């Protein structure tokens, strides 16, 4: 379900920039800011920018669509493993369903995720697309 307008403002930054949390005690990272480390329970957790590239860990093509996306599909959903090992659930775009593979390199893209109603607020957020130019260090 799409959240109502005010909540968008709390969530905008983390959705737009793919923020995550990193525990300064044990080093565990996960997508989305947290106040307590899910691995060790430490409250010493910082909000960090997660890497913008990774590979497809698993994927599926969604044909039975939820109500919010009734006129949108089929679309590709994946769990992406980022370069630091953090995993994130995301749509894969700019790619035909038959071309997506486990291990395929992908990069962050900023896209429209949905809209509340025909004239309602538009939600933006991250999706991933096949990596076109591999970064050189």
Partner 1 sequence: MRDVAVIGVGMTKFGERWDKQLRDLFVEAGNEALKDANMGRDEVQALFVGNFSAGSFVGQEHVAPLLSDYLSLKSKPAFRVESACASSAMAFNLACMAVASGTYDIVMVGGVEKMTDVSAPEATSVYAKAMDAEWESFFGLTLPAAFALIARRHFVQYGTKPEQLAMVSVKNHRNGSKNPLAQFQFEVTVERVLSSPIVSDPLHVLDCSPVTDGAAAVILCSAELARKYTDTPVYVLGFGVASDSMALHDRPDITTLGAVVKASRQAYRMAGIEPKDVDVAELHDSFTIAEIILYEDLGFCEKGKGGMMIQEGETEIGGRIPVNPSGGLKARGHPVGASGAAQIVEIVKQLRGEAGRRQVPGAEIGMTQSMGGTASTCAVHIFGRRKR
Sheet strands side by side (includes 19-23): 29-31, 19-23, 45-49
Size of the site for partner 1 (CB under 8 A): 38
Q: By CB under 8 A, is residue 132 in contact with partner 1?
A: no
Site string for partner 1, 11-50 (x = CB under 8 A): x------------------xxx-----x------------
Judged by CB under 8 A, which of 55, 87, 105, 130 binds partner 1? 87
Does the protein bind partner 1 through residue 67 (CB under 8 A)?
yes
| DSSP one-letter code for 63 | -
Among 48, 69, 109, 129, binds partner 1 (CB under 8 A): 69
Q: Which stretch binds partner 1 (CB under 8 A): 46-54, 87-95, 129-137?
A: 87-95
CB 90 within 8 A of CB 76: no
Q: Which is nearer to partner 1, 12 or 134 (CB)?
A: 12
The piece of 40-48, 55-63, 129-137 that touches partner 1 (CB under 8 A) is 55-63
53 vs 136 by CB, closer to partner 1: 53
How many angstroms from the chain centroid is the CA of residue 132?
18
The DSSP bridge partners found for residue 55 are 81, 105
Q: In the block, which residue shows the tokens 């962050």?
A: 108
Provide, for the chain, the percentages of residues in helix, strand and coil under a 3-state DSSP scheme, each rounded to the nearest 5: 15, 40, 45
Q: State the Rg of the chain over Cα.
A: 16
């Amino acid at each position: 379900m799409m959240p109502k307008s005010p909540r968008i403002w709390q969530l905008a930054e983390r959705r737009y920039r793919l923020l995550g949390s990193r525990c300064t005690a044990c080093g565990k990272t996960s997508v989305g800011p947290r106040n307590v480390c899910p691995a060790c329970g430490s409250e010493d957790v910082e909000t960090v920018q997660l890497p913008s590239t990774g590979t497809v860990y698993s994927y599926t093509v969604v044909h039975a669509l939820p109500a919010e996306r009734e006129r949108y599909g089929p679309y590709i959903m994946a769990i992406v493993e980022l370069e630091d090992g953090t995993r994130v659930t995301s749509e894969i775009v700019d790619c035909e369903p038959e071309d997506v593979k486990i291990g395929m390199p992908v990069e962050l893209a900023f896209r429209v995720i949905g809209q509340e109603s025909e004239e309602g607020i538009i939600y933006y957020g991250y999706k991933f697309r096949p990596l076109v130019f591999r970064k050189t260090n």
